[in-house]
Amino acid sequence: MSSNKLQIEEVIDCALAEDLGKGDVTTEALIPGDRQGTGFIVAKKEGILAGIKVAKQVFHRVGPELKVEILLEDGARVKPGSKVAKVSGSIASILKAERVALNFLQHLSGIASETNRYVERVEGLPVRIMDTRKTTPGLRSLEKYAVKAGGGENHRMNLGDGILIKDNHLAALRSQGLNIKEIVAKARQNAPLSLRATPTLSLRGAKRRSNLQARQTQVEVEVGTVSEALEAVEAGADIVMLDNMNLEDMRKAVKSIHGRALIEASGGITLDNVRAVAETGVDFISIGALTHSVRALDISLELEAQ
């Protein structure tokens, strides 16, 4: 997992403190500490697995002596009855870790599964499904990891990852008399040295981008109309984000831009319309729903006492 190890440990510790801060009075009242058993983590629905190593870490944080055997790796497709991991050792420790481990696993697998549904809908088209910053506070790195497990890709991890000039940036600066060309130039001129490198967004093998030269600092501009899209390209934007634009206008924007910039579609994207959006010729489709309103994948732990 590419996510920062220390950050993940902090998230796990926070979740355990939330659930175990006052102990597990039920387990402590009923289950002797030396009672041994084995539990299997089992999928109840079809989907894509994500977060199994996080779940393993949860069990080890509660009971370092527990043996956790991963049976399926992240990215695997599961179906009802699929055993994804085996946990052996103290039943008390297994029960104390169960809910937090499953919370992470269900949530992350839900994100991976939803992402994969979008990826499958656009199969065969030269477009990439991407996430946004619409994530659960404190869980961004894990949620974006789950998107990748489902076959998607990550947009900016945080506000320091790239320049994206949004509508409110434009509104604030236009009120001072700046036009979009001046705004793009200002952003590129004042960008930190850490961003003056190879662009973070590209489309491997994209014919439309083959004749474009990578600038020192990549600048993306959000637009809402075809005329704004053309204005952004003429201002030197590397990426144009078509925000909440209808299909007809998307097609017009793609045709008008004609390979002078990469194009991202965002806003109002659903499973029902994502393929139609991809067929307009955009390079990226970013979808906040991958993380902000996803349904957890049903996964449970089945205990076998000894």
Neighbouring-strand partners of residue 243:
266
Residue 269: CB atoms within 10 A of its CB come to 21
What type of residue sits at position 214? A
**Which of 166, 174, 215, 295 is an active site residue?**
166
**Which residues make Cβ contacts (< 8 Å) with residue 138, sequence separation at least 6?**
11, 14
Residue 122: CB atoms within 10 A of its CB come to 18
Residue 222 annotated in active site? yes
**Which of 98, 114, 220, 222 is an active site residue?**
222
**Which of 98, 220, 231, 243 is an active site residue?**
243
Residue 67 annotated in active site? no
**Which of 83, 117, 134, 275 is an active site residue?**
134
Distance CA 12, CA 186 (A): 41
Given the structure tokens 């209808």, which residue do they identify?
Answer: 246
Residue 243 annotated in active site? yes
**Which of 99, 133, 181, 186 is an active site residue?**
99
**Which residues make Cβ contacts (< 8 Å) with residue 5, sequence separation at least 6?**
none
Residue 181 annotated in active site? no
**Which residues make Cβ contacts (< 8 Å) with residue 202, sequence separation at least 6?**
209, 262
Residue 283 annotated in active site? no
Neighbouring-strand partners of residue 87:
39, 68
Total residues belonging to the chain: 306
Q: What residues are labeled active site?
A: 99, 134, 166, 222, 243
